[in-house]
Amino acid sequence: MNMLLTIDGLQLRFGERLLLDIEHLEIATASAYVLTGANGSGKSTLLRILCGLESARIDGAHFMDKPVSLRPYPPMLRDAILYVHQHPVMFSTTVEANVGYGLVARGIAKTALTKRVADAMEWAGITHLRGTHPRHWSGGEKQRVALARARVLRPQLLLLDEPTANLDGPAREQVIGLIPTLLAEGRSVIMACHDRDLIGLPGVRRLKLKDGRLEMREAALRND
């Protein structure tokens, strides 16, 4: 199994409290993980460290077998690792502009941008949002817009913070249904969550944070 990201000796303190004390973390290519733990255990903080939004002491890290430093956070990782917040911000503009925001920032040519945005909207099932204002979008629709906005940038690792929290049954199912398609595209996904349906997805490995330490559990098996 090829490793996408490995980190050794990650520690983070808040005053006297040692919040994270992770000896080793490894994320394989085209693999899905759920990150579980009690509220306040550091799940969101760990995701934010992995995408460069927070800093921690790290003894060593490798990305695609190449040594990297996470402080300062390298541009290569900013392109490869993306974080989707539990409550994603929507810009007061069109759904196309929301999905394509990152592509515009990267200077992608308009023709390519238009096609990639259209493909991402189709993938996320949000084409019906054309001509509507974000204030009218449901929580599930906003989450799928955020996922499309991330996927359109073609990241290698997606960090999803409580992607199904506060969503009703149909909205949850729509978001959960997108996860296997990301893996099929060769991407890796880490989902911080308490959602049993996400935890029980076939092939998903479980990372559990407890007392600052990380435990790896076996992948869920398909119940056919």
Whether 213 is covered by a domain: the verdict is yes
Query: Has residue 117 got a pLDDT over 50?
Result: yes
Q: pLDDT, tens digit, for every residue of 126-157?
A: 999 999 999 999 999 999 999 999 999 999 99
Look over the chain and give the mean of its residue pLDDT values, rounded to a whole number.
93
Q: How far apart are the first and last CA of the chain?
A: 25
| Structure tokens given for 34 | 């759920």
Is 4 part of any domain?
no
Structure confidence at residue 220 (pLDDT): 56
Residue 49 lies in a domain: yes
Verdict on whether the full-model pTM lies above 0.85: yes
Number of domains in the chain: 1
Asked whether residue 62 is domain-assigned, the answer is no
Amino acid at 48: R
- Rg, C-alpha atoms of the chain: 17
pLDDT band at 223 (very low <50, low <70, confident <90, very high): very low
The set of residues, in sequence order, having a beta carbon less than 8 Å from that of 167 and lying 6+ positions away, is: 139, 140, 143, 175
Amino acid at 17: R
DSSP state of 166: T
110 within a domain of the structure (yes/no): yes
Which pLDDT value is given to residue 219? Answer: 62
Mean pLDDT, residues 168-175 = 89
Residue indicated by tokens 């460290």 = 49
User: Is residue 12 one of the residues assigned to a domain?
Assistant: no
What CATH number does residue 45 fall under?
Answer: 3.40.50.300
The range of the structural domain enclosing residue 179 comes to 32-55+74-217
Cis peptide before 72 (omega within 30 of 0): yes
Predicted confidence at residue 224, as pLDDT, reads: 42
Note whether residue 9 is domain-resident.
no
In a domain, 87, yes or no: yes
